[in-house]
Amino acid sequence: MAFLSPSMITTMDQAKKHRTWALWILIIVYIFNFIDRQIVNILQEDIKADLGLNDTQLGMMTGLAFAVVYCTMGIPVARIADSTSRKGVMVISLAIWSGFTALCGLANPIHIGTFTISAFVVLLVTRMGVGLGEAGGSPPAHAMISDLYEKEKRGRALALYSAGLYAGTLLGYYLGGWLSEALNWRQAFFVVGIPGVIFAIIAWTTVREPVRGLSGTAPSKDKPTFVKSFAKLWSLKAFPYYAIATGAGTFITYGLGNWMPSFMPRTYGIIDPASVGGAVKYLGQWGMPELQNALGMCQSTMVDGVRQLAADCYDMNKTEIGLFYGTCSGVGGMIGTIAGGYLADRLGAKDRRWFLWVPMWGKILGAPLFILAMLAPTVELSLLLYFPGITLAAMYLGPALAITHHLVPASMRAMSSAVLFFILNILGLGTGPFVVGIMSDWISGNADSLSQAHSFLGDSVEQVKQMSLKWAMIIAVILMTPLAVLWHIGAMKLPKGDLDDSGDAMKEALTEGDPTGSPATVAPKP
């Protein structure tokens, strides 16, 4: 019996009956997307040890190589999705990236005569294959959601969908950490990759696709190319500013998020005697002077004993890292993403500029929490600070997608998502982890001179090497956070008032609001 795709949705009444189910299926697909994308991060320390890699290579594998293929292929895939079945493109993409995730576990050297392809290159190519498949995941889903939901609910729906990013991150770390302990990193890729292929069948047979323009204006027959779509979007007064700001924000979230599973054991897995001595002294202030005295009487034995105890507590295995960090990042990210969409819809109903102000304030308020998390003396405090940081920083995606889809015709929605994702992923996913890895290797390679010139980096060369990743992550936050002001500049380029889905949306977006927020040159509607 052949599998038949359900008929298309042609009315809003049909959409209202089906859209909740469709949205949750799309969310689950997106969850699979990020399980397969993020699992490599929890496994990267095992991969590094097994294949003998450095941080630059890890950054290339988790960020740059993946992002280049992901962003580049997202363009023609979105073009296909705007012209054919969006659901079909998404389902095929799910099967492709899930299959390549499984193949990552087969990364071994390939010998061709006297020529050898290293295991790292093989793994790099398979991760690029994952990027190839994932390129077709989000833009078609964004376009379908925008057709299933009215403009008043679109921000929340897109934000709820985008929360799948963090749900997938959470599950990716949970599963990756547990599987790496129970099995090994190669087998972990197999276990998480295969279910996605099965779920592709479920998505194809149960989801009904809406006709284009169902919740707004009918789509035009024009199917603009990427170049034309990019040019149209870039011609909007606000778009260049908030697109670059979104990329800078993504630089921080990926630059930190991809490296946190390595940051935790590197930073808190080694306890030095000085910190132990301080901890014992601190206990003495709370009615336990005998510990302080014991330290003075038999310092070496005491320090070594407490040091080993501390190391036993803080030398986290992969399961613990996946549990603790996955929960903070996943739950915090989901809360922030949903809250961002909700706030943008509520506040944007009166003033559309809040679609850009909400993510701006999220990044500004989240940045100091990220820095404090990196500097925290204990892993518990670090995660406690990281949780509200990622919650605030995650408020950007739903509003950015919603405002973009408000501004373009229905026939451009998938392509507009591809353009926005191209910019933010090249700037964020592509460069964030890679640049952090380069900076980490540079700091580690210059530890001798840096330890003498900058004592705050560490008291010894070994400490500087151990903390190189921490300082690279802090530098990334400091460099990128000031670009949040571009959201505000973009917001001031939008005329005040509610956006509708009429043909005037693009025309209105080409004008520029004055400092008081009054619409510029757009004539009032009859």
3-class DSSP assignment, residue 335: helix
Q: Spell out the SS3 assignment of 202-224.
A: HHHHHCCCECCCCCCCCCCCCCC
3-class DSSP assignment, residue 323: helix
Q: Are 41 and 322 in contact (CB under 8 A)?
A: no
Distance CA 403, CA 75 (A): 20
Identify the burial level of 272 via C-beta atoms within 10 angstroms of its C-beta, where 0-12 means exposed, 13-18 middle and 19 or more buried. middle
Domains and CATH numbers, the chain: 12-269+316-509 (1.20.1250.20), 270-315 (no CATH)
Beta-strand relationship, 115-117 and 110-112: antiparallel
Which one-letter DSSP state was computed for residue 9? B
Question: Which of 125, 114, 104, 93 has the alpha carbon at shortest distance from 47?
Answer: 104
Please tell me the predicted confidence (pLDDT) of residue 514: 39
Please tell me the predicted confidence (pLDDT) of residue 310: 39
Q: Is the pTM of this model over 0.85?
A: no
Distance CA 87, CA 26 (A): 9
Distance CA 32, CA 197 (A): 10
pLDDT along the chain (526 residues), means of 10: 61 82 88 83 84 84 80 78 83 89 87 85 90 84 83 78 80 80 85 85 86 64 67 84 89 84 74 36 39 42 40 54 75 85 83 88 92 87 89 86 79 76 81 87 81 62 79 91 91 70 48 42 39
Please tell me the predicted confidence (pLDDT) of residue 316: 57
Identify the burial level of 232 via C-beta atoms within 10 angstroms of its C-beta, where 0-12 means exposed, 13-18 middle and 19 or more buried. buried
Q: Residue with structure tokens 């390129």?
A: 135
Spatial neighbors of 156 by CB under 8 A, at least 6 apart, are: 338, 341, 342, 345, 398
Distance CA 426, CA 69 (A): 10
CA dihedral angle for residue 27, residue 30, residue 35, residue 36, rounded to 10 degrees? 150
Phi, psi of 11 (to 5 degrees): -130, 160
Please tell me the predicted confidence (pLDDT) of residue 370: 92
What number of CA atoms fall less than 13 Å from residue 163's CA on the CB side?
20
Phi, psi of 298 (to 5 degrees): -140, 70
